[in-house]
Structure formats: structure tokens, C-alpha cells
Structure 1
């Protein structure tokens, strides 16, 4: 019998696993842009622990192993910023990124978020595809370096529709999953 992946709030105990997973997951991003000095690859354990203490950090676990993570923070004007979403390469393309995104959105909406914002590199087609699937639309682009343009995407929180119980703005698969 296989184990299922669970999503929960990260603890300080998870910091080392998150940092190692982050380092693994951002290698492709660094290669894509030819820049191995990006923040996720240079972040220290102390900096990550400070993020754990200050904001919303969720982890996906397969047994005791952290196989995914995402961070978020609700801003004072209702815009929540989502960042640092990572999924172990062997767990990608199985819906875990979408589950993490839905979980952090739900948590941040509970903290009063009225809009969600995230960013990714312009060449990261996998991230762009996932975010668009979950209802995000591009609102800005900023050239960070000669090789990297950061694409900012936003969306409104999902709402339950009275007639169907399905979530407006959610992918059809997610709406089906909530009704099962």
C-alpha cells in the first residue's frame, strides 16, 4: 500500500529538508537563465528559519519526507504574495503543485487576502502553464537581468457558487475533486 502526500504547516524542524529541496528544485531555473546566484540557491538556513517564523509556509510530505513547499504572506491591502513553490522532481506532473497552490490560497484567504500575486521567470513554461491553469493572469513583466524577465501574475480568490458548490475560477478538475 502506497503512502499519500499530506499538506500541512511547516515547522522549524522542516527547515533543513525545505532548504535541500529548494536547492535541488531551483537547479533547472538557474540553468535556464545561466545564473546560479539566484536567491533560492544562496538562501541560508537562518534566512529560511526566519521566513518560517514570520509567514505562512506549507509543506507536502510523503511519510516523513518533505516533497514540496510553498510560502505566502498576506499584505496589508489584501494582496497576498505567494512564492517559493517547489515540488521534488520525482513528484512533478502529478498535481502536487496545484494542491500546494490551492492550500496556500485557502490559508491566505482565511487571513483576509482578496487577491493573490506570484512571479516566475519568463522562460519557465511549466510554472506559467500551472499558474494560468489555476486562473492567474499576467499583470506585469520586469526585466531583472539581460537574460531574465520576471513575469508577475495575479488572480482573485475563488468563490463558492451557490448552485453547484463548485469554486469559481478553479480548474474543472479541482471543482470535481471538491464534490467527490
Structure 2
């Protein structure tokens, strides 16, 4: 009998597993851009613990193992900023990223007055771009960080958040 993946709020006790998953999950991004100094790869455990205390951090668990995570926060204008959506490589392609994205959107909207959603990804991260577009996000800006990397900002209105 297989176990099902559950999504819940992360606690401080999850910090080490999240950091390890983040490091594993961002290896492909680092290779894609030829840059192993990406923030998720250099984040410290203390800084992650601070984010868990200050933001909405969700984890997807398969038994006791954290196999996915996402973070979100709402700014003073009501924009929900979503970031660090990571799914364990062996769990990719099964809808877990979609479930995490929808869960963090719902959670943020339930706890704050949300006017819209914003996130960003690299220009070569085609699977990410497709996922976000399928969920109503539209490209609003592209910022060149280096010759190898441009950051694509995507946004959507709050009213379209759960329409997917």
C-alpha cells in the first residue's frame, strides 16, 4: 500500500530537511544557468529558520520525509509573493508542484487580504514557466542578471488564483 503526500505548515523542526531538499532541488537550476551561487544553494540554516518564523512555509510530506516545499508572504499592498517552490527530483511530474502552488495561494488568501500574486523564475526554467502560466500567471517583466541568467517575473490577479 502506497503512502500519499500530505501538505502542511512547516515548523522549525523541518528546517534541516527543507534546506537539504532545497539544495538538492536547485542543482538542476544551477547546472542550467552555470551558477552554483544561486541564493537557494547558499542559504544558511539560521536564515531559513528566520523565514519559517516570518513567512508562510508549507511542506509536502511522504511519510516523515519532506519531498516538497514553497514559501509565501503578503506585502503591505496585498501582493502575495511566492517563492522557493521545490519538489524532490524523484517526485517531479506528478502534480506536486501544482498542489503546493495552489495550497500556498489558498493559505495566503485565507489569512490576508490579497490583491494579486507574484513570483519569479529563470528564463531557461521552462517547466516552471509552463506551470505558472497554466495557473494564470502572466509575464510582467524580464530582468537580465548576467549573460547567463534573466529573471522572469510573473503575476496574476487574486480573482484568478483558484480558477485553474
Aligned residue in 2 for 1:125: 126
Within-5 A mapping of 1:9-48: 9-48=9-48
Stretches (4+) displaced over 2 A: 157-160
Aligned residue in 1 for 2:49: 49
Partner Cα separation in structure 2 for residue 112 and residue 145 of structure 1: 35
1:39-65 superposed Cα distances (whole Å, 9 cap, x missing partner):
100000001000000010000000100
Aligned residue in 2 for 1:174: none
Partner Cα separation in structure 2 for residue 102 and residue 57 of structure 1: 13
Partner Cα separation in structure 1 for residue 109 and residue 152 of structure 2: 23
1:157, distance to aligned residue in structure 2 (A): 2.3
- TM norm structure 1: 0.88
**Bigger relative CO (Cα 8 Å, ≥ 6 apart):** 2
Partner Cα separation in structure 1 for residue 150 and residue 122 of structure 2: 6
Within-5 A mapping of 1:7-156: 7-110=7-110, 111-156=112-157
Distance verdict in 2 for CA 1:78–1:36, change over 3 Å: same
Tell me if structure 1 keeps the 8 A contact 2:116–2:157.
yes
- TM norm structure 2: 0.96
Aligned residue in 2 for 1:157: 158
Partner Cα separation in structure 2 for residue 108 and residue 141 of structure 1: 25
Gaps of 5+ in 2: none
- 2:158 alignment partner, SS class: coil
Partner Cα separation in structure 2 for residue 9 and residue 50 of structure 1: 15
Partner Cα separation in structure 2 for residue 51 and residue 158 of structure 1: 27
Gaps of 5+ in 1: 161-166, 171-180
- Give the length in aligned residue pairs: 163
